[in-house]
Amino acid sequence: MTNQTKPAAPVRAPFFSSGPCAKRPGWTPAALSDAALGRSHRARIGKAKLAEAIALTREVLQVPDDYRIGIVPASDTGAVEMAMWTMLGARGVDMVAWESFGEGWVTDAIKQLKLDDAQVIKADYGDLPDLAKLDTKNRDVVFTWNGTTSGVRVPNADWIAADRDAITICDATSAAFAQKLDWDKLDVVTFSWQKVLGGEAAHGMLILSPRAVARLESYTPDRPLPKIFRLTKGGKLNEGIFKGETINTPSMLAVEDYLDALEWARSLGGLDALVARADANARVIHDWVAKTPWVANLARDPATASNTSVCLTIADPDVLAAGEEAVTKVAKGIVSTLESEGMAFDIGAYRDAPAGLRIWCGATVETSDLEALTPWLDWAFALEKAKLAQAA
């Protein structure tokens, strides 16, 4: 019997969106008071703040000294597109996808870039492809480290060849600052400010290994490149991009917000502390799922379950027996009910994913709020199941 008694304890910060994600604990607009508003990003103050954002990114994310870090247009999407359009085509590439954003990169490679030697390796939502079968020594690979819309991540980078001649392009937007990235195995890493650190949108980060720089300087793709994609000048890397000389005009307000988030991360103890917070948060949801019959983790293998975008499905046998439409209705009902109560915002599954819930557990979320959330989830499900029974 499900409990229809409304929980007494509120969720104090009900922000569980998977992007833009929750602001850091204690954030107020006062954190932006030192923003270089009304100033050019090319002025000394603007350049200094952009350079500081790059330096703090390197420190907190533990990026090797010989990797370049650039601030680029159009969020994580822009960063991935820049890498694909400027680097792919030099050799065969394997496009790996197990959720919607990976599928987006497949579409670009096959339908837009029309690469001659592109293989597509896919898995269904909840699963991970057999990565060990990839020839990462000889073939480029494009993949997401953490599937934001499926809650499935790669457990490590052991499947990537250390002595590779090819490059790896990794969309790490839901992993950076929450999961340890194996930099030795990654040549291009991208992410956006609005994910794990809860910054504001529209800006992407592009991190290049020496191998990626060598590819850029030795390969000229046979395709036109828009201005915002151009990473080289005169056959050499445009080093200015990786010193804060952005291709287009960044928002200095968003830059200040990113700096605030990075300073907060550093004050906690850096990457190790951020990973520990995300792990503790995800553990609350995973432990609750383990003892709750009506819900299940979309990630079938616990070793691949995300600690940021935790995706859940309805597992109640009565609801499943009522059919797919009923499952969707119950999931949407939970989302709507908790939003109207002010106890959880933006927890619906991604539109292309199986019907269910998606709860962000990154470092800017407080563990206590997730602990408070689970009784509300149980309560909302009980209401929706009762409605389903009444309608039968």
- Say which CATH topology domain 270-391 has: Aspartate Aminotransferase, domain 1 (3.90.1150)
pLDDT in 10s for each residue of the chain, 392 residues:
456 799 999 999 999 999 999 999 999 999 999 999 999 999 999 999 999 999 999 999 999 999 999 999 999 999 999 999 999 999 999 999 999 999 999 999 999 999 999 999 999 999 999 999 999 999 999 999 999 999 999 999 999 999 999 999 999 999 999 999 999 999 999 999 999 999 998 899 999 999 999 999 999 999 999 999 999 999 999 999 999 999 999 999 999 999 999 999 999 999 999 999 999 999 999 999 999 999 999 999 999 999 999 999 999 999 999 999 999 999 999 999 999 999 999 999 999 999 999 999 999 999 999 999 999 999 999 999 999 999 87
Under CATH, which number does the domain 29-267 receive? 3.40.640.10
d(CA 55, CA 62): 10
Would you kindly state where each structural domain of the chain is located, as residue ranges? Answer: 29-267, 270-391
Q: Which residues contact 254 (CB under 8 A, 6 or more apart)?
A: 193, 199, 200, 201, 202, 203
**Complete DSSP assignment for 291-343:** T-TTEEES-SSGGGB-SSEEEEEE--HHHHHT-HHHHHHHHHHHHHHHHHTTS
